[in-house]
Amino acid sequence: MAPMTRVGEEMYALVERLYPLCRSITGDGVRATLDIVGEYLPLDVHEVPTGTQVLDWTVPQEWNIRDAYIADPEGNRVVDFAASSLHVLGYSVPVARTMPLSELRPHLHTLPDQPSWVPYRTSYYKPEWGFCLAQDTLDAMPDGEYEVRIDSTLADGHLTYAEHVVPGQVADEVIVSCHTCHPALANDNMAGVAVATFLARELARQTPYYTYRFIFAPGTIGAITWLARNADRVERVKHGLVLACAGDPGPLTYKQSRRGDAEIDRVLRYVLTTSERPHQVNEFTPYGYDERQYCSPGFNLGVGSLTRTPYAGYPEYHTSADNLDFVSPEAMADTLAVCREAFAVLDRNRRYLNLSPYGEPQLGRRGLYDALGGRSDTKQAQMAMLWVLNLSDGEHGLLDVAERSGLPFDTVAAAADALHEAGLIKT
């Protein structure tokens, strides 16, 4: 089995394990998710108490649920939390009543345009209860008395998030963030969690230049909590990427940071274009995933977002159709490959200074041409050396060289390594 095929299958197996868990912005489902990820990566798990002020927000009460159902007049469970965690409105307060269908209807959420799918709905910050079900199921429910039961708790507790750090040669950081709060949605976002997990494992086998910090946190409130708790050291974050919707069949989409010209933006544009993959690059908008928190004007970090089909861009989004059949090992492997390629460029994109800038230095007597002997791309490698020397003025990085010369970044980086070793350039 080819390496990328194998890692794709391993990521899919992780999604299979995570998919059934009932997650929300707090609670034991998040902890169970992090426990499984923790089998793949050592995690530093943080518990932030209810009531903690985090920027303009407050950590909410913790929600947990054990069981929920709607039973028809004959006692049959027509809607059952045990069958899918999507069946309960997220953060539903407890209820144990018997009521006619007419009274129950306002608490039922369906998708009339997709009558066989169950929607995903939440009520995080407003006390409410409800169920989500297929329109077909609702249409088949006769009038009568229904037993309604939601065995949940909403009480003071904690918000849980986790970090994994891959140490680098410098303290400057690249953050990779993914959300851990959605129940029974394979693409949004267990595929993103799986890709982040395996990306971290790959980086840990290297000696990267940057320090890479992986953040596994509930959407919105989790990123806000992380920023609030790290505000005094956020200046270390030089680049970042939010990963989501990483396993669907659509082409890759990169959403630029608020800056639009951040280095991560240039790198992703370059990698996607030169790879000749079908892709799309979108401008920043203050709506979507947690890039909008990292890119809020007070922080304005260089953080973009990588997905396949973007937020709310596919019919299956936030429905029961975002299931294990909707994601594939091949799509996740492709997303991981782009992340790997992008971070390889980011990690090696440095500015150099030509130490012999007056005229072209003699490369032959330094053995640099001889060192290229036998390479299939000898002429290309020679041109890369000349380009690196010419643009090593302290203002241009290797990505500038690759873009301007049209040469592959790897060839340019190899040329820079050779010139640095020969003492012709310095960082």
> Residue 73: which CATH number?
3.50.30.90
Indicate if the pLDDT at residue 84 is higher than 80: yes
SS3 at position 386: helix
Is 301 found in the same domain as 223? yes
Res 370: pLDDT:
61
How far apart, in whole angstroms, are the C-alpha atoms of residue 214 and residue 193? 10
pLDDT digits (tens, 9 = 90+) for 152-197: 999 999 999 999 999 999 999 999 999 999 999 999 999 999 999 9
Is 184 found in the same domain as 54? yes
Q: What percent of the chain has pLDDT over 70?
A: 98
Indicate if the pLDDT at residue 371 is higher than 60: no
Is 170 found in the same domain as 235? yes
Indicate if the pLDDT at residue 400 is higher than 90: yes
Indicate if the pLDDT at residue 373 is higher than 70: no
Is 265 found in the same domain as 248? yes
How far apart, in whole angstroms, are the C-alpha atoms of residue 402 and residue 398? 6
Mean local confidence (pLDDT), 398-427: 95
How many domains does the chain divide into?
A: 3
Res 155: pLDDT:
97
Is 338 found in the same domain as 243? yes
How far apart, in whole angstroms, are the C-alpha atoms of residue 54 and residue 7? 37
Q: Which domain holds residue 376?
A: 351-426
Is 168 found in the same domain as 244? yes
Tokens of 80: 């059952």
Is 361 found in the same domain as 342? no
Find where tokens 């059949």 sit: 325
**Which parts of 123-278 are beta strand (E)?**
131-132, 145-155, 158-166, 173-179, 211-217, 237-243, 252-255
Of the candidates 11, 331, 397, 63, the one whose C-alpha atom is nearest the C-alpha of residue 200 is: 11
State the CATH number of the domain containing residue 220. Answer: 3.40.630.10
Is 331 found in the same domain as 186? yes
Mean local confidence (pLDDT), 359-382: 75
* 47 touches 218 (CB < 8 A): no
Domain end, chosen from 311, 328, 348, is at: 348
Is 118 found in the same domain as 56? no
State the CATH number of the domain containing residue 397. Answer: 1.10.10.10
Is 135 found in the same domain as 22? no
Bridge-partner residues for 281, per DSSP? 254
Average pLDDT value over all residues in the chain: 96
Domain end, chosen from 101, 128, 155, is at: 155
Domain end, chosen from 102, 123, 155, is at: 155
Q: Indicate the pTM of the whole model.
A: 0.96
Is 180 found in the same domain as 285? yes
> CB-based contacts of 202: which residues, under 8 Å, 6+ apart?
336, 340
Confidence of residue 376 (pLDDT cuts 50, 70, 90): low
Res 363: pLDDT:
86
How far apart, in whole angstroms, are the C-alpha atoms of residue 262 and residue 90? 36
Is 307 found in the same domain as 362? no
